């Protein structure tokens, strides 16, 4: 009887299942911990989620365009090490633009290989993940880097500052989310990304420059990583050479949780923001429950699998499909 009802309500459950599961998580964590719904903890979750959130904005646009970007974690390691290392050598005024330019070059390589040469985005960005991590180790010599004078630099404002009591990372994340939402919903570029991701062949016959659109999406993704690196480097005032390891998985989980289809052509910036917060609150609840770090990874993996399943089920119109 339960299976029959699930099959009958497939599309509705698929669309709302993640949200229902999230609400159940929130209720359970609230009952198990008095700190979970406190104002301090909520603001802490918002602040902690800003880095993943900023990267997820760019990845959302890439995925809507019908591709993937698994190199954002290694790219974050590269950008953070670079900006922190150059901070004491040439000052933040030059270190930031140099880091942004170098990160955009990595994004341009992704964009060229995938947008211009039409190579598979999964293979390209998976290869770039390893290549960039090797580049980080070569640059840093395998050593971690630190900013010597923490108190004498305005660089700290990106990760530790606040405006009217609101942490700077939250403001950066919020402003970027609003700008990207406007671009994707009201500007021609946003409509082109949806068209390319939804039906690449039709978009070409419609006169949309597919290669240029895909190339631009990877530049945007790289720019988001550069901004995230400023926040991360500023907050820690240093960087490990593998600091971005695993970020690609969390970012992808947040994007999928927000309802962006891995098949391209569907998704929303604001829903990605919701996905980022959902994932952050779940991980925060697990921490308050005293769960180890690897449990968070396991839960993240389960969340991804469920989200992908619901995404496919929503397109099929039912939760379960018979084996052909």
**DSSP labels for 258-318?**
TT--TTSS---HHHHHHHHHHHHHHHHHHHHTT--HHHHHHHHHHHHHHHHHHHHHHHHTS
Number of H helices, E strands in the chain: 14, 4
pTM of the predicted model, to two decimals?
A: 0.89
Q: Smallest Cα–Cα separation from 208: which of 228, 188, 178, 183?
A: 188
Q: Which of the pair, 285 or 214, is modelled with greater confidence?
A: 214
150-173 pLDDT, tens digit per residue, is 777 899 999 989 998 899 999 999
Q: Which of the pair, 297 or 229, is modelled with greater confidence?
A: 229
Q: Is the pLDDT of residue 302 over 70?
A: yes
209-220 pLDDT, tens digit per residue, is 999 999 999 999
User: Does residue 162 sit in helix, strand or coil?
Assistant: strand
Q: Find out whether 265 and 194 touch, Cβ atoms under 8 Å.
A: yes
The two three-digit tokens of residue 31, written as one number: 């009952």
């Amino acid at each position: 009887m339960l299976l029959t009802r699930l099959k009958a309500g497939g599309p509705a459950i698929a669309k709302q299942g993640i949200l229902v599961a999230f609400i159940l998580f929130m209720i359970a964590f609230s009952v198990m911990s008095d700190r979970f719904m406190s104002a301090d903890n909520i603001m802490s979750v918002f602040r902690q989620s800003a880095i993943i959130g900023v990267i997820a904005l760019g990845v959302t646009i890439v995925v809507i365009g019908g591709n993937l970007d698994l190199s954002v974690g290694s790219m974050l390691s590269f950008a953070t090490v670079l900006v922190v290392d150059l901070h004491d050598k040439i000052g933040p005024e030059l270190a930031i633009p140099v880091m942004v330019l170098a990160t955009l070059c990595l994004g341009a390589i992704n964009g060229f290989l995938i947008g211009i040469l039409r190579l598979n985005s999964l293979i390209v960005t998976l290869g770039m993940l390893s290549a960039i991590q090797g580049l980080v180790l070569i640059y840093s010599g395998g050593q971690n880097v630190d900013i010597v004078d923490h108190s004498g630099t305005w660089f700290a404002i990106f990760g530790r500052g606040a405006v009217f009591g609101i942490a700077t990372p939250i403001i950066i994340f919020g402003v970027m989310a609003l700008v990207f939402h406007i671009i994707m919903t009201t500007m021609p570029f946003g409509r082109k990304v949806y068209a390319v991701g939804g039906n690449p062949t039709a978009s070409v016959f419609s006169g949309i420059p597919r290669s240029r659109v895909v190339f631009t999406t990877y530049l945007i993704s790289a720019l988001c990583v550069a901004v995230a690196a400023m926040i991360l480097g500023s907050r820690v005032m240093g960087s490990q050479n593998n600091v971005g390891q695993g970020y690609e998985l969390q970012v992808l989980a947040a994007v999928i949780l927000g309802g962006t289809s891995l098949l391209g052509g569907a998704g929303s910036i604001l829903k990605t923001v919701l996905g980022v917060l959902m994932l952050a609150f779940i991980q925060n609840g697990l921490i308050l429950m005293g769960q180890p770090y690897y449990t968070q990874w396991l839960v993240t993996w389960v969340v991804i699998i469920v989200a992908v399943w619901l995404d496919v089920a929503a397109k099929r119109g039912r939760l379960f499909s018979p084996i052909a």
